[in-house]
Structure 1
Amino acid sequence: MGKDSVMRNLGLLNQLWDGTSLTIDRRSTESFTVRGARLTVALQVQEPTLREFFARSGALARGTGFFARFLVAWPESTQGYRPFTEAPANWPHVAAFDRRITEILNIPAPLDEDETLTPTLLTLERDAKECWIEFHNEIESELRSGGELYDVRDVASKSADNAARLAALFQVFEQGIRPISYECFESASRIVAWHLSESRRFFGELALPAELANAARLDNWLIEYCRREQVTLIGKNYTRQHGPIRDGAALDAAIRELEELNRVQLEKDGKRLIIKINPALLNKEGA
């Protein structure tokens, strides 16, 4: 797909997310306009696939504001830490969730005479609005040059909007259609703040060349492992088997990068290769 097509399609998705009317012009068939539509997107994608998308589309996905609308999560792999456990006999919380979702889905959709979706506009209770304003202003103050969120200001600028949307979902689920409570917004703002932190980590590493991104991932994994196990040495083979980089050449390149930064040393112990962590990094202030 060419960059023009990428920009056009991302722009259309942005309009649907915003809930605005969307006109589709056709050359060979009848044109039409979409009104009152709502769009929710949930994507699960492997890192190499996403990197390839960024490489092909350049900065368009961020430049158009497409990624700014997402709540990003980039969890660490749990491989190697998933021992078998018996499933519980029942799932009471899941059952309660399913019942409530079914109740909501059974409510007739609010349609006007033209079959256009006309949902009820939810407002914020007074203390919830005060909480929203505080959340908005705290984020806004970090968007300026030198602020903590400057590098992800496109994402951060949508955070207050996303928090309000999420709070509305919580409100409808918990108490039905009524003004959004302080508790619902406060819970939503905490979740959105966590996702904003994930966005900083995600886009920070994604913006790096693959070699530096691998070094950063390996560095984080080594430090976390050594702190958890209270060690400063770890076998290279073990690192390849259980760490974030399985490709041998990529692992070697990442280790060399960290050696140049004086964060690790690769040493021989007989026939074994051992990665030695700079002890200063295991002190949280030193990392």
Structure 2
Amino acid sequence: MRDFVYCVMHTTQANDALVGPVVLSVASAAVQGVADILTPFGTDMPTSLFTGVVALSGDRKSTVLKLACRGMEEFERGMEGYLDPEMSFRHWGSHPFLLEEATEKGVVDVYAKGAKSLFYALDEGSMLTRNLDVPALCKRYDGADIRDLNRTRGFTYVADTRGALCMLVQDLTFSRMMKGDKGAYLIESGLLPRMLMSFASMSVVGPIPLCSMDAHNHEFHERIKALMQDYKELFIHGKPRSKMHLAADAEQLWKQALEEWEMLLRDSMWHSIRPFVRRAGEQALRLAGVLQWFTAPQEMIECKSMQTAIDIVQWHLLQARAGFGKLPQEALQQELAQALYDYLMRRAVKYNATATPRNTLIRSAPVSLRKADQLDLALDQLELEGKVGFYPTNSRKNVVLTAASIAAMNPKSTPIVNNWSNKS
């Protein structure tokens, strides 16, 4: 799976903070239809994952999602020729699986006609609040039975369904979504804390490790096809999903992680994302199950899968803290300064220029820096560290990287041109 992530990064030039969560969600959507987890508490848990990725415009969100979902297209092609709207999907042998545009009524209809597993593949995240029902999505994550009462259709009951979700959203759209009561509702309802959040808009594309195969013909797609074929057999014949449980050492590792995540909540820096931290243990269980069944399907979840899952969940918690957390002033200033410095360095390389107008930063810098007071906090810190100066010197109309910053960026190559050097 890791090799496929690198291949997609090479093909699309998207960063790992975008590609990684998308690939995990696709793997989860394929696994959820064939395997559940028996938790240490004796309850069944879905392997469904919800992921949310906030990215900049032009970051290839749709391209990455489409490429990752290639292995699911064969299952959906079974719908060709389906004409009778009253025929059960089980009798036909296929059903819609990738939901790019949907309403809650439409989703209930698909489940009611026999589908047991669906994947919300939303490359336009604004649909989340425009067309879909937030409480119902929370129930999809939980694998709860569907009880839908409608004036025209009457009562619909469907048991034992699964739903995974991948939400890709542009940073400006997400910022609007989170403003006011709507943003508070998305968190308080429990929907966003159910997601493994990633803020790809804050990440830098570094050197990409080598990959072994072409992304379009990667063995990842063959594994997805095999899992979808397994699901088809279960779905047509009404067979139960397999159940995984933790190996003794994996369970011990998981319980240790639970204690460490509980300890985080004693630190005030984590209080503002408490709902995300409290979900971390469940996320690790689900993710470990996905990794195990995707790479080496067996009833026992091994310690290696659990350790990888814990590491990934911890990374997503840090992402949630960066995106949602309210930090003490000093820590906030340090994080804003680092985000601004990374952005200025990337921009200097892209445009071969070391000066950036302040109004450009307000428009185009990472979202956390687009408010004047936040930007000034970051500039104060970078000026103190000797990383930036200003032109004219008695104003902040233009932010200029210092010679030390330029040297750190490009020590062995021809110096990048200072586009304000001839104007001072």
1:23, distance to aligned residue in structure 2 (A): 0.5
- CA gap of 1:252–1:160, structure 2 versus 1, over 3 A, is closer
3-state SS in 1 of match to 2:245? coil
Greater relative contact order: 1 or 2 (C-alpha under 8 angstroms, separation 6 or more)?
Answer: 2
Q: CA deviation at 1:143?
A: 2.0
- Counterpart for residue 245 of structure 1: 365
- Choose the corresponding residue for 1:14, options 135, 138, 152: 138
Aligned-residue offset at 1:183: 0.6
Distance 1:256 1:105 in 2: 52
Q: Distance in 2 between matches of 1:65 and 1:239?
A: 36
Give the residue type in structure 2 aligned to 1:128.
Answer: A
Deviation at 1:11, TM superposition (A): 1.3
User: In the alignment, which of 163, 172, 197 is matched to residue 39 of structure 1?
Assistant: 163
The alpha-carbon distance between structure 1 residues 270 and 59, as it changes in their structure 2 partners (threshold 3 A), is closer
Aligned to 1:66: 191
Query: What letter corresponds to residue 245 of structure 1 in structure 2?
Result: A
Q: What SS does the corresponding residue of 2:200 show, helix, strand or coil?
A: coil
Structure 1: gaps spanning 5 or more residues: 83-87, 208-212, 280-287
Identity score, percent: 19
Mapped partners of 1:92, 1:47: distance in 2: 26
Count of aligned pairs:
253
Q: For 2:296 and 2:175, how far apart are their aligned partners in 1?
A: 41
State whether structure 2 residue 288 is matched by structure 1 residue 170. no
**Gaps in structure 2 of 5+ consecutive residues:** 1-128, 349-353, 384-388, 405-424
Q: Write the letter of the residue equivalent to 1:143.
A: L
Q: TM-score, normalised by structure 1?
A: 0.71
Residues 93 and 11 of structure 1: CA distance in aligned 2, closer, same or farther (over 3 Å) = same
**CA distance 1:197–1:252, shift in 2 (3 Å):** closer
Q: Which residue of 1 aligns with 2:321?
A: 200
Report the Cα distance in structure 1 between the residues aligned to 2:229 and 2:398, rounded to whole angstroms. 62
Alignment of 1:55-134 (within 5 A): 55=179, 57-76=182-201, 90-91=213-214, 95-107=218-230, 108-110=232-234, 115=238, 118-134=240-256
The corresponding residue for 1:156 is 277
Which amino acid in structure 1 is aligned with residue 356 of structure 2?
Answer: K
- Describe the superposition over 1:122-169 as per-residue Cα deviations: whole angstroms up to 9, x where unpaired: 10000000011011111012224x354322110111111111111111
Is this contact kept in 2: 1:36–1:118, CA < 8 A?
A: no
C-alpha displacement of 1:76: 3.7
The structure 1 segments of at least 4 consecutive aligned residues displaced by more than 4 Å after TM superposition are: 215-218, 225-229, 250-259, 269-272, 274-277
Q: Measure, in 2, the Cα distance between the counterparts of 1:182 and 1:203.
A: 31
Q: TM-score, normalised by structure 2?
A: 0.50
Q: Is the 8 A contact 1:267 1:276 kept in 2?
A: no
Over the aligned positions, Cα root-mean-square deviation in angstroms equals 4.3
Equivalent-residue separation in structure 1 for 2:336 and 2:400 (angstroms) = 11
Between 37-46 and 170-179, report the one with greater CA deviation.
Answer: 170-179
8 Å CA contact 2:265, 2:271 repeated in 1: yes
**1:167–1:180 contact (8 Å) kept in structure 2:** yes
Deviations along 1:24-60, one digit per CA (max 9) or x if unpaired, are 1112322101211111110110122112222251411
CA distance in 2, matches of 1:262, 1:201: 18
**Residue 189, structure 1, aligned to residue 318, structure 2:** no
CA 1:133–1:246: 2 relative to 1, 3 Å: closer
Contact 2:171 2:201 in 1 (8 A): no
2:339 paired with 1:221: yes
For residues 38 and 159 of structure 1, do their structure 2 counterparts lie closer, same or farther at Cα, with a shift above 3 Å needed?
same
How many Å separate the matches in 1 of 2:295 and 2:193? 27
Distance (whole Å) between structure 1 residues aligned to residue 164 and residue 282 of structure 2:
14
Matching residue's letter, 1:102: K
Which amino acid in structure 2 is aligned with residue 221 of structure 1?
A: A
Structure 1 residue 219: Cα displacement: 2.8
Give the match's secondary structure for 1:36: coil
